[in-house]
Structure 1
Amino acid sequence: MKKLPNPIFCMVISCIIFSCSEKSESEDTITKPEPNAVTEAPKAKAPKTILGIDVSHFQGDVNWQEIKDANIIFVYDKATEGATFTDPKYAKNKVGAHEYDLAHGSYHFYTTDSDPIKQAEFFTNTIDYGIGDMPPVLDLEKGGIKGTVDPKKFQEEVLKWLNYVEQKLGVKPVIYTNHTFGDKYLTSTKFEEYQLWIAEYGVETPKVPKIWDNKGWLIWQRSERGAIEGAISQVDHDLYNPKKSFEVVKK
């Protein structure tokens, strides 16, 4: 894969015009980027609500016009799982999201039965990271644990994936998880460097793993398989933190 140029991030959206998890092949529970070159956009009043969804082949064919009409701003799209599985709807979903001016992001579902570097290579060779895209995401949850795993070794392997993807794409990935999984498997202070996409449903405020106590969350998956009126019936609902800049690749 040819080396991509370093993206320029940090675009604050002042007017809304366009908010790691669907169940993977093996899932049974759900469990600011710091690019090399940064340009700060002029300060503007952030929107109160930045809504998104995350999708995969489980949603079938997505009607992107209806998603747009439902005031969705961004979509995360499952790209890969492990070292060999490519979501069959990934490419189509990415094209559809961009055609309707939705910010698009790609995520990888991590499994412990495959080498982390092979998984990272597979992911970066599958996605076409560029303009209009949000930072890539690593989905870490119970469904990705195969057999007995030592938490220390797991963290070392996950960091290998994160470092490879950052070097290849020039942007820090975001970590998707929940507080239970994070407090068990993501205890290294090195994870503080990464933004958090937290999953927790049916609460007014999500609980983050201890490592992110000071940093807080970037995205909150606040409901699982919720309905969007006038759109597809089964998608995950995501809220972008209004206290943070809404970030996409731009030139």
Structure 2
Amino acid sequence: MLRQISLVALLVLSACGGAKREAVPVGSGEVTVISSNFDDSDPTDWPGRSPDRYPVHGIDLSRFQTSVDWSAARANGVNFAFIKATEGGDRVDPMFEDHWRGAGRAGVMRGAYHFFYRCRPAAEQARWFIKHVPRTPGALPPVLDMEWTPTSPTCTIRRDGAVIREEARIFLDILERHYGQRPMIYTTVDFFQDTELWRLQGVEFWLRSVADHPHGAYDGNSWSFWQYTSTGLVPGIAGRVDINVFAGSKQAWAGWLAARQM
């Protein structure tokens, strides 16, 4: 059952590198937001609103991030992580289980995502995801990753936008019934525009935009998460990693989490 939450927060200092921690009530407990201590190997000169204005930062990752010290990453501002779980109807990311367990042990809010393969039925892909991703209390909503794949060795088909949106709806409906919360969609500027994903009703978006704020890149469409770089440098993670922000304040983050408690 959803609970009303207090928006009173306690500001304290982290014992690690002076990073700020803010404990914000959520449901029957609280979520601790840690300010980010990230860098970027290829930073953008943001023309408008910078991602730095958003207080809640996190990452997404997959098999390419093979060495993660989750405790260090958490202490340096990884407040959430979206972890690749599956692709199509026959692929499981080999690092999913390690990342899922590591993030959970470190207290990082975690969610799993599925990379959509347009040459398999949506229902089949949904069942594949469900087979490999546990129904974990407190997890972030599942994510459907939809983008064009022009370099795929097996599937470069570009279906009509109406077909794409129907496939997305089928996938989201099946996962919502299983996990008890509506999945989000991750996408890119070109895919969003080409398929008119904005026509989907009742969907939250996680949007990629590495050169401009989503408000400009996506014509003012609403979003919950913004992936602003793929060249991030995060203490505790070897190599580059994608970095994201949540759309609102720390208090809004607490409310967003509370509304999705299973």
With normalisation by structure 1, the TM-score equals 0.76
User: Which of 105, 122, 128 lines up with 2:134 in the alignment?
Assistant: 128
Q: Matched residues in 1 for 2:142 and 2:5: separation? A: 16
Paired residues for 1:29-40 under 5 Å: none
Shift of 1:60: 0.9
Shift of 1:206: 4.7
Conserved 8 A contact 1:178-1:209: no
Q: Matched residues in 2 for 1:12 and 1:146: separation? A: 49
Answer 1 or 2: which has greater strand percent.
Answer: 2
Q: 3-state DSSP class of the match of 1:114?
A: coil
User: Which of 230, 247, 251 lines up with 2:257 in the alignment?
Assistant: 247
Q: Matched residues in 2 for 1:240 and 1:12: separation? A: 19
Shift of 1:10: 8.8
User: Which of 88, 99, 102 lines up with 2:108 in the alignment?
Assistant: 102
Shift of 1:199: 0.3
Q: 3-state DSSP class of the match of 1:142?
A: coil
User: Which of 56, 59, 68 lines up with 2:74 in the alignment?
Assistant: 68
Q: Does 1:84 align with 2:90?
A: yes
Conserved 8 A contact 1:120-1:161: yes
Q: Matched residues in 1 for 2:63 and 2:76: separation? A: 20
With normalisation by structure 2, the TM-score equals 0.73
The residue number in structure 1 matching 2:194 is: 184
Q: Matched residues in 2 for 1:97 and 1:65: separation? A: 8
Q: Does 1:149 align with 2:159?
A: yes
Unaligned segments of structure 1, at least 5 residues: 1-6, 19-39
Identity score, percent: 23
Worse overlay, 73-82 or 175-184: 175-184
Shift of 1:250: 4.2
Cα distance, 1:208–1:129 mapped onto 2, change above 3 Å: farther
Q: Matched residues in 2 for 1:250 and 1:188: separation? A: 26
Q: Matched residues in 2 for 1:174 and 1:128: separation? A: 17
Unaligned segments of structure 2, at least 5 residues: 11-20, 34-53
Shift of 1:202: 3.0
Query: What is the number of residues matched between the two proteins?
Result: 218
Give the root-mean-square deviation of aligned CA atoms.
3.0
Letter in 1 for 2:191: F
Letter in 2 for 1:129: R
Cα distance, 1:168–1:229 mapped onto 2, change above 3 Å: closer
